[in-house]
């Protein structure tokens, strides 16, 4: 809707401008006594010279702007317009020099001679602006090379000027002496106006609200009305001729502003926006990096301080207070409470807060009691949802949300660690799981009051968990993440063996791949891999129990303990994220009576969750990375990956002095396929063509979709003769293949271009010139009838018989 409104507004403005400009001509025509005048020859010669010099300078400026903007824009349409105005400027110069009163321009000057140059210029600019509309903006045709076009334009325009100078009297007269404008001149003026009207309409169909298009259309309106002024003039030196020249100047200036938009301002704005985006991204990344570093520093310091406190202190109150302080530091929260069970009530023994809580809490009348009764981490998004549990102290403090985790000792819940916030929905389930680590440390602090060794062990667990979280946080492959975690668990529990399995989801079920193994024989690894790859996606597998009757599990998603043939004890840790199995860690002991010590379920589940989340994130990163390098329709490499592979293979070919060939192929008459059978059929043919390229070429070759219906195949270690043979073989396969699409049997052919980079090839930029050479060969195959293979023969290499 906004586009329609802008288009309507632009057309209304053009209509208003046209009415004003024609109105000016009408006023001059209807009131000749007031506004119409004939100027003296000397005065008008000065006016005419100034106006034509302005037009000439503007036309040259248009050419210069587009010429120097070409390397950034590569806009073939603008380049053609620039050449048109270069030619028109030369013709305007010839018209100016041929005007009566000016020194003789090679031959005697006359109104007819000047008029001939004038009408040629008018027709050229009108037809040229219209023709430019049908030129692609990004044409790869060699015709649109700037040097070629400027040479052609200069030669042709110079030839036209010479033709008029030499054969003026053989050409149809435009303004014979003393007779005024001829019918031929008027007909040509009307022709130019019709061309301008047609261009005005056609450009209006192409995004009329765009600033550059609008300016061009405004210029066309000025040119149309200028033509009418030149038709109406009765005398070479009258007001109509003067108004026409003014309108002509405005036409040139509008074209100049339009091309300034496309050749200078738009690339500059694009670069400016990109620069701004890059600056914003760098600032954001620096901020995120600093936040991560700060969080890592705070977390590390909190763990260090907590560990040091638990290792050095032996009084229970001091250790629990340190747990509360560390929790508040890590979560950056001012309201942390720790309560222990005492006579079936909860007694707050350590806290940090701006208000003093009650000494005792009833389990069924408080939020911390809710955590104690449910015996699991609890997140409350809005405490007002539980009015029966709101204490007066909570209302006074303005607390709105809460997360709590139970404190366990020897498997029993003996207390609660809770965090409150003044904002609703402040905490997530991930916070609850992380808080569980601190509540676990509170239980360990209680245990440490009885034994110093337990505190040391608790610190080791925290350090280990921090190392796991840090390893998982670093962006690396899923295999590397799982291998590191498996190795750390193997060392932590001093197991005799460990295996890390990554799970792959395929059409036929779940498949396990070992990425880390130590202390197991290969047959044992294979045996476990077969069990975990039984084609099922449910956990646990029924096949586990068939290995031995001595199999137990903590829960459906927890640690599984089992014996294999009564000779080795196994602990299997599943890694699940969003109920999806990402991997398995198997720890083994040669003594069947050994296993992971009791009481490690919480830290193991935390490790499992963090590792599973890290694996899931790594999979997503790898997936999106593959999407960025793969064409979604054909599943072949896209243009970006093709450029990278070609650059790498060029370097290898140079280093090892081996040949490298490139095949560029294009489906013949593909537009006809789309027009006849529809774009869906075209997509099906592109998909099948991509599959055929991948299947028929060698596994060492790299195939890519180069763009549209054009494909490219990089052939390492392949000379020109071998590449031609491969191309011809594939051409025949395609020629005999029938593509089925929407119940239609469609046959297509392809044209192929082959080029080879060898030791004898003397190229300064092998990558670019190899692609250009193959593209030239493909173009030659198209020109010579299609459905054929053409190759590029380097002049520096021995000539190969075709």
CATH number of the domain that 402 lies in? 3.30.450.40
Mean pLDDT across 478-483: 81
Of the pLDDT bands very low, low, confident and very high (cuts 50, 70, 90), residue 30 is confident
Residues 532 and 660 grouped into a single domain: no
pLDDT of residue 217: 84
pLDDT of residue 789: 95
Residues 600 and 690 grouped into a single domain: no
Q: Is the dihedral of CA 360, 365, 369, 371 positive or negative?
A: negative
* C-alpha–C-alpha distance, residues 686 and 692, integer Å: 10
pLDDT of residue 663: 96
Mean pLDDT across 728-736: 94
**Over the stretch 432-463, which tens digit does the pLDDT of each residue have?**
888 888 777 777 777 766 565 565 566 666 67
Range of the structural domain that residue 579 is part of: 468-616
Within 10 A of 775 (CB to CB), how many other CB atoms are there?
Answer: 20
CA distances (Å), 564 to each of 152, 548, 729, in order?
A: 85, 6, 56
Residues 488 and 373 grouped into a single domain: no
Q: Which residues pair with 339 in a beta bridge?
A: 348, 416
Cβ contacts of residue 616 below 8 Å, gap of 6+?
Answer: 577, 578, 580, 582
Residues 325 and 427 grouped into a single domain: yes
Residues 92 and 161 grouped into a single domain: yes
pLDDT of residue 556: 43
Catalytic residues: 709
Of the pLDDT bands very low, low, confident and very high (cuts 50, 70, 90), residue 542 is very low
Within 10 A of 291 (CB to CB), how many other CB atoms are there?
Answer: 10
The residue with greater pLDDT, 76 or 579, is 76
Least confident segment among 321-330, 423-432, 456-465: 456-465
User: Is the bond into 32 cis (omega within 30 degrees of 0)?
Assistant: no
pLDDT above 90 (res 748)? yes
pLDDT of residue 234: 66
Look at the chain and count its residues. 802
Q: Where does a domain end: 581, 616, 651?
A: 616
Radius of gyration of the chain (CA): 41
Q: Where does a domain end: 417, 450, 483?
A: 450
Residue 499 lies in a domain: yes
Mean pLDDT across 236-245: 75
Q: Which residues pair with 380 in a beta bridge?
A: 402
The residue with greater pLDDT, 483 or 454, is 483
Residue 305 lies in a domain: no
Residue 157 lies in a domain: yes
* C-alpha–C-alpha distance, residues 405 and 339, integer Å: 11
Percent of the chain at pLDDT above 90? 17
Residues 82 and 181 grouped into a single domain: yes
Of the pLDDT bands very low, low, confident and very high (cuts 50, 70, 90), residue 801 is low
Mean pLDDT across 530-537: 66
Residue 256 lies in a domain: yes
pLDDT above 60 (res 626)? yes
pLDDT of residue 341: 87
Cβ contacts of residue 346 below 8 Å, gap of 6+?
Answer: 339, 340, 360, 361, 362, 363, 366, 368, 369, 372, 415, 416
pLDDT of residue 423: 84
The residue with greater pLDDT, 367 or 395, is 367
Of the pLDDT bands very low, low, confident and very high (cuts 50, 70, 90), residue 552 is very low
Beta pairing, strands 401-409 & 710-716? unpaired
The residue with greater pLDDT, 371 or 727, is 727
Residue 49 lies in a domain: yes
Q: Which residues pair with 663 in a beta bridge?
A: 713, 754
CATH number of the domain that 733 lies in? 3.30.70.270
The residue with greater pLDDT, 457 or 400, is 400
The pair of three-digit structure tokens given for residue 607, joined into one six-digit string: 């490790």
Q: Are 541 and 531 in contact (CB under 8 A)?
A: yes
The residue with greater pLDDT, 719 or 6, is 719
Beta pairing, strands 345-352 & 360-361? antiparallel
Helical ranges in 667-750 per DSSP H: 670-677, 679-696, 720-735
Residue 117 sits at the vertex; the CA angle it makes with 111 and 122, to the nearest 5 degrees, is 115
Residue 289 lies in a domain: no
Mean pLDDT, the chain, rounded, equals 81
Give backbone dihedrals phi and psi of 395, rounded to 5 degrees, phi first.
-65, -45
pLDDT above 80 (res 629)? no
pLDDT above 90 (res 419)? no
pLDDT of residue 620: 67
pLDDT above 90 (res 612)? no
Residues 646 and 547 grouped into a single domain: no
DSSP per residue, 438-507: HHHHHHHHHHHTT-HHHHHHHHHHHHHHHHHHHHHHS---HHHHHHHHHHHHHHHTT-SEEEEEEEEEET
Residues 139 and 79 grouped into a single domain: yes
* C-alpha–C-alpha distance, residues 691 and 669, integer Å: 20
CATH number of the domain that 114 lies in? 1.20.1070
Locate tokens 């317009």: which residue? 81
The pair of three-digit structure tokens given for residue 297, joined into one six-digit string: 């520093």
pLDDT of residue 567: 66
Residues 496 and 605 grouped into a single domain: yes
Residue 53 lies in a domain: yes
Cβ contacts of residue 627 below 8 Å, gap of 6+?
Answer: none
Least confident segment among 36-50, 452-466, 747-761: 452-466
Residues 438 and 472 grouped into a single domain: no
pLDDT above 60 (res 357)? yes
Residue 703 lies in a domain: yes
pLDDT of residue 756: 94
Least confident segment among 83-87, 259-263, 710-714: 259-263
**Over the stretch 210-235, which tens digit does the pLDDT of each residue have?**
788 888 888 888 888 888 887 876 66
Domain count, the chain: 4
pLDDT of residue 535: 54
Q: Are 155 and 96 in contact (CB under 8 A)?
A: no
CA neighbor of 5 nearest in space, from 281, 197, 209: 209
Q: Are 786 and 793 in contact (CB under 8 A)?
A: no
Mean pLDDT across 752-768: 89
pLDDT of residue 33: 63
Residues 421 and 383 grouped into a single domain: yes
Mean pLDDT across 343-361: 82
Mean pLDDT across 540-559: 45
Residues 60 and 204 grouped into a single domain: yes
Q: Where does a domain end: 267, 294, 328?
A: 267
Of the pLDDT bands very low, low, confident and very high (cuts 50, 70, 90), residue 547 is very low
| Residue 221 buriedness (CB in 10 A; 0-12 / 13-18 / 19+) | buried
Least confident segment among 286-300, 371-385, 515-529, 604-618: 286-300
221's enclosing H/E stretch is: helix 211-232
Chain Cα centroid distance, residue 53: 48
């Amino acid at each position: 809707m906004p586009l329609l409104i802008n288009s309507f507004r632009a057309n209304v403005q053009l209509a208003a401008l046209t009415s004003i400009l024609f109105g000016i001509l009408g006023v001059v025509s209807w009131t000749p006594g007031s506004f119409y005048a004939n100027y003296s020859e000397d005065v008008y010669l000065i006016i005419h010279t100034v106006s034509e010099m302005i037009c000439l300078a503007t036309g040259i400026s248009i050419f210069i702007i587009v010429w120097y903007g070409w390397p950034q824009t590569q806009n073939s349409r603008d380049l053609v317009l620039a050449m048109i105005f270069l030619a028109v400027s030369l013709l305007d110069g010839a018209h100016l020099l041929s005007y009566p009163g000016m020194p003789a321009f090679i031959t005697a000057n006359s109104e007819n001679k000047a008029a001939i140059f004038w009408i040629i210029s008018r027709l050229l600019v009108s037809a040229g602006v219209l023709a430019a509309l049908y030129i692609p903006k990004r044409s790869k045709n060699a015709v649109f090379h700037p040097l070629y076009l400027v040479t052609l334009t200069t030669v042709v325009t110079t030839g036209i000027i010479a033709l008029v100078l030499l054969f003026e009297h053989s050409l149809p007269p435009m303004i014979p002496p003393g007779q005024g404008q001829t019918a031929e001149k008027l007909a040509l003026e009307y022709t130019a106006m019709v061309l301008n009207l047609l261009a005005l309409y056609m450009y209006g169909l192409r995004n009329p609200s765009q600033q550059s298009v609008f300016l061009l259309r405004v210029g066309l309106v000025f040119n149309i009305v200028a033509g009418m002024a030149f038709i109406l003039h009765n005398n070479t030196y009258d007001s109509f001729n003067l108004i026409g020249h003014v309108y002509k100047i405005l036409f040139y200036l509008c074209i100049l502003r339009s091309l300034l938009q496309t050749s200078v301002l738009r690339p500059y704005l694009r670069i400016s926006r990109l620069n701004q985006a890059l600056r914003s991204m760098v600032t954001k990344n620096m901020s995120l990096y600093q936040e991560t570093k700060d969080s890592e520093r705070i977390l590390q310091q909190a763990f260090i301080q907590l560990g040091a406190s638990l290792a050095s202190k032996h009084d229970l109150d001091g250790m629990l207070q340190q747990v509360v302080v560390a929790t508040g530091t890590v979560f950056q929260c001012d309201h942390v409470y720790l309560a222990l069970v005492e006579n079936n009530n909860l007694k707050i023994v350590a806290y940090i807060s701006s208000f003093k809580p009650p000494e005792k809490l009833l389990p069924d009348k408080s939020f911390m009691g809710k955590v104690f009764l449910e015996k699991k981490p609890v997140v409350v998004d809005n405490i007002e949802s539980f009015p029966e549990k709101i204490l007066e102290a909570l209302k006074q403090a303005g607390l709105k949300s809460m997360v709590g985790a139970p404190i366990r000792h020897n498997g029993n819940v003996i207390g609660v660690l809770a965090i409150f916030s003044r904002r609703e929905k402040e905490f997530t389930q991930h916070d609850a799981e992380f808080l569980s680590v601190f509540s676990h440390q509170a239980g360990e602090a209680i245990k440490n009051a009885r034994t110093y060794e337990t505190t040391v062990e608790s610190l080791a667990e925290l350090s280990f968990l921090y190392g796991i979280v840090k390893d998982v946080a670093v962006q690396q492959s899923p295999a590397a993440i799982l291998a590191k975690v498996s190795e750390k668990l193997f060392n932590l529990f001093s197991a005799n063996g460990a295996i890390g399995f990554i799970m792959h989801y395929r059409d036929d079920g779940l498949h396990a791949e070992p990425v880390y193994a130590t202390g197991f024989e290969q047959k044992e690894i294979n045996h476990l891999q077969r069990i975990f790859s039984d084609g099922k996606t449910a956990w646990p597998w029924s096949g586990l129990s068939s290995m031995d009757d001595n199999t137990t599990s903590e829960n459906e998603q927890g640690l599984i303990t089992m014996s294999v043939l009564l000779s080795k004890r196994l602990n299997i840790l599943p890694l699940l994220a969003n109920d999806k199995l990402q991997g398995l860690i198997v720890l083994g002991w040669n003594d069947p009576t050994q296993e992971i010590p009791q009481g490690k379920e919480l830290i193991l589940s935390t490790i499992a969750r963090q590792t599973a989340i890290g694996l899931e994130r790594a999979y997503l990163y790898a997936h999106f990375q593959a999407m960025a390098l793969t064409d979604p329709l054909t599943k072949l490499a896209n243009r970006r990956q093709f450029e990278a592979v070609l650059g790498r293979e060029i370097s290898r070919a140079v280093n090892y002095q081996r040949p490298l060939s490139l095949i560029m192929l294009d489906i013949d008459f593909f537009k006809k396929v789309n027009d006849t059978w529809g774009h869906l059929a075209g997509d099906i043919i592109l998909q099948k063509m991509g599959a055929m390229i991948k299947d028929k070429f060698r596994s060492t070759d790299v195939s890519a979709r180069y763009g549209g219906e054009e494909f490219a195949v990089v052939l390492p270690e392949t000379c020109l003769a071998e590449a031609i043979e491969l191309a011809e073989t594939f051409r025949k396969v395609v020629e005999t293949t029938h593509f089925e699409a929407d119940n239609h049997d469609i046959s297509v052919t392809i044209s192929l271009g082959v080029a080879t980079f060898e030791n004898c090839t003397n190229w300064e930029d092998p990558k670019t010139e190899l692609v250009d050479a193959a593209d030239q060969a493909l173009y030659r195959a198209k020109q010579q009838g299609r459905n054929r293979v053409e190759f590029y023969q380097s002049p520096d290499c021995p000539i190969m018989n075709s």
